[in-house]
Amino acid sequence: MTMYRTVRGMRDFLPADLAKRRFVEEKVRECFNLYGYDEVETPILESFDLISAKAGDEIRHRMYSFKDLGGRMVALRPEITPSIARVVANKLRTEVKPLKLGYIANCFRYDNPQMGRYREFWQAGFELFGSSHPVADAEVLAANNALMRRLGFTDFSIKIGHVAILRDVFTEESMTEADQNRLMEFMDKREQTKVFRLLSNLQVSDGCQTTMKELFTLRGTDWKRLLGKGRRILQHKEGALVALDHLEAIIGFARSLGVETEFFLDLGFARGLEYYTGMIFEVYVPGLDIALGGGGRYDRLVELFGGEPIPAVGCAPGIDRIALALEKKGLFPEQLTHVEKVLVIAIQEDLLPTALELASDLRKQGVAAHNEVTGRSLGSALSYADKKNYRYAVIVGSAELEKECVILRDLKAETQREVPITHLFTEIGQS
Ligand code: HAM
């Protein structure tokens, strides 16, 4: 007989694991409400072209893609932003702006399975369409920040940068978009040696090499001073200077929105996805060298998918990594589900109909009352109830029934008493 396992990189979520994910999802939905994001769902399967258009080489090569029986090239989504941009370009083009859409969904990437890196993982998302104002960027940062706080994180930081600075430096060298993207991919992976090797191969000016070297040193929490230094280094680059002003405005608005979290400015920071046009960011907690979430501004994606030009900014907190960090830091509440369960047990077979009716009545009143369904002895049924964290057992016996009573056993307090059936619901509610 073959013992089947999950496919490598895939995971089963048993009740305890799923409860953790649901806890995170609940907090995400609280933030959707607080910040005005309407939740949407899009298909797991998308056209390969849509997903790969601006995915960047890294993700493009790690997609689960195949031809369906109709000969269409399709892919399991590695992220959700292109799907949301597709929806905005097609179905929501006439909707009033700004438009805020949220999602919680699974994604697939053929990554190397390791801690915090899975082939199926869950992302939450906040996507805001219809504003190019820095306050929109700040609001996305604030929503992400609020999520982290509501989850219980107090110690985390937001790494922030701006791709327009890099694009401006590269465009001045008349570099093709493909070469710019390759450079940014190396930067995303923090492979500086490869960045400078490629810059040499592309025969960029000495000035460009120097600017890049200097940009790589501009990183730290002292963002005001670093922005000042950046302005000196980039003094003749108009686009880059506007980007620096934007970053300053975004951080300022984020502070006004109550984001007290540390900002780690990094002007040599890039992200692998190719659709970003402005501010980019990632969220980190100390002791975990993987981003818990990331995002940024992408002003041209809707247009690329055939819609009106609509500026956009968003982010995707990674649910699995957040759960991992909560676990590591002991931040999950002790009891993730606190439904008080009641097990109704008939002592003899002929009392079963009464026990079934009793449980059914309790359920109608909203009590999680379950029946003992194996016909085993009272002792085994009680020990099961104990192991499964039942709060009460209702024991239906003939002696008590004659007085229209049952025994209510409090499994936590380890006490029991006789209770009239008519009072059962109130007794359970009161304890
Ligand atoms: P991303 O940085 O590729 O951005 O992914 C966002 C988050 O998803 C990561 O920070 C991480 O927490 C989680 N994640 C990514 N890959 C894996 C994996 N293999 N295993 C576990 N977790 C993973 C995006 O996907 C963009 N769509 C974010 C965005 C939204 N930008 C604008 N709007």
Mean pLDDT by 10 residues, the chain (431 residues): 93 96 98 98 97 91 97 98 97 95 98 94 98 98 98 97 96 94 93 94 94 96 97 94 97 97 96 96 96 98 94 98 97 86 97 97 96 96 96 97 97 96 90 55
What are φ and ψ of residue 56, in 5° steps? 90, 150
Atom of ligand 1 nearest to the CA of 125: 30
> Would you say the CB of residue 296 lies under 6 angstroms from ligand 1?
yes
CB neighbourhood size of 136 (10 A):
23
The CA distances from residue 2 to 5, 8, 135, in Å, are 9, 16, 57
> Would you say the CB of residue 315 lies under 6 angstroms from ligand 1?
yes
CATH of domain 341-430: 3.40.50.800
59: tokens are 């993700």
Which residues touch 178 (CB under 8 Å, ≥6 apart)?
Answer: none
Pocket test for ligand 1, best of 321, 322, 324, 326 (most atoms within 8 A of CB): 321
Q: What's residue 223's pLDDT?
A: 96
360 CA from centroid of ligand 1 (Å): 45
Burial letters for 324-344: b for 16+ Cβ neighbours within 10 Å, e otherwise? bbbeebeebeeeeeeeebbbb
3 CA from centroid of ligand 1 (Å): 33
∠ Cα 178 181 182 (to 5°)? 90
**How far is C-alpha 151 from the geometric centre of its chain's CA atoms?**
12
CB neighbourhood size of 177 (10 A):
11
Domain borders along the chain are 15-329, 341-430
How many residues are present in the chain? 431
pLDDT, tens digit (0-9, with 9 covering 90-100), for 141-188? 999 999 999 999 999 999 999 999 999 999 999 999 999 999 999 999
Domains 15-329 and 341-430 share a fold: no
* DSSP annotation of 7: P
pTM above 0.85, yes or no: yes
Q: What's residue 334's pLDDT?
A: 86
153 CA from centroid of ligand 1 (Å): 19
Q: What's residue 430's pLDDT?
A: 63
- Residue closest via CA to ligand 1's atom 15 equals 318
> Would you say the CB of residue 291 lies under 6 angstroms from ligand 1?
yes
Q: Check if the beta carbon of residue 426 is closer than 8 Å to that of residue 367.
A: no
The SS3 assignment for 332 reads coil
Q: Check if the beta carbon of residue 291 is closer than 8 Å to that of residue 283.
A: yes
What are φ and ψ of residue 341, in 5° steps? -95, 150
Residue entry with tokens 């923090």: 190
> Would you say the CB of residue 391 lies under 6 angstroms from ligand 1?
no
pLDDT, tens digit (0-9, with 9 covering 90-100), for 39-64? 999 999 999 999 999 998 889 999 99
**The domain made up of 15-329 is a member of CATH 3.40.50.300:** no
The CA distances from residue 7 to 11, 109, 116, 144, 225, in Å, are 8, 13, 17, 32, 50
C-alpha–C-alpha distance, residues 25 and 20, integer Å: 9
> Would you say the CB of residue 277 lies under 6 angstroms from ligand 1?
no
244 CA from centroid of ligand 1 (Å): 25
Q: What's residue 431's pLDDT?
A: 55
> Would you say the CB of residue 78 lies under 6 angstroms from ligand 1?
no
The SS3 assignment for 159 reads strand
21 CA from centroid of ligand 1 (Å): 16
Atom of ligand 1 nearest to the CA of 298: 32
> Would you say the CB of residue 230 lies under 6 angstroms from ligand 1?
no
Residue entry with tokens 């509610």: 429
Q: Check if the beta carbon of residue 372 is closer than 8 Å to that of residue 344.
A: yes
Q: Which residue in 278, 259, 252, 263 sits closest to 135, CA to CA?
A: 252
Atom of ligand 1 nearest to the CA of 109: 19
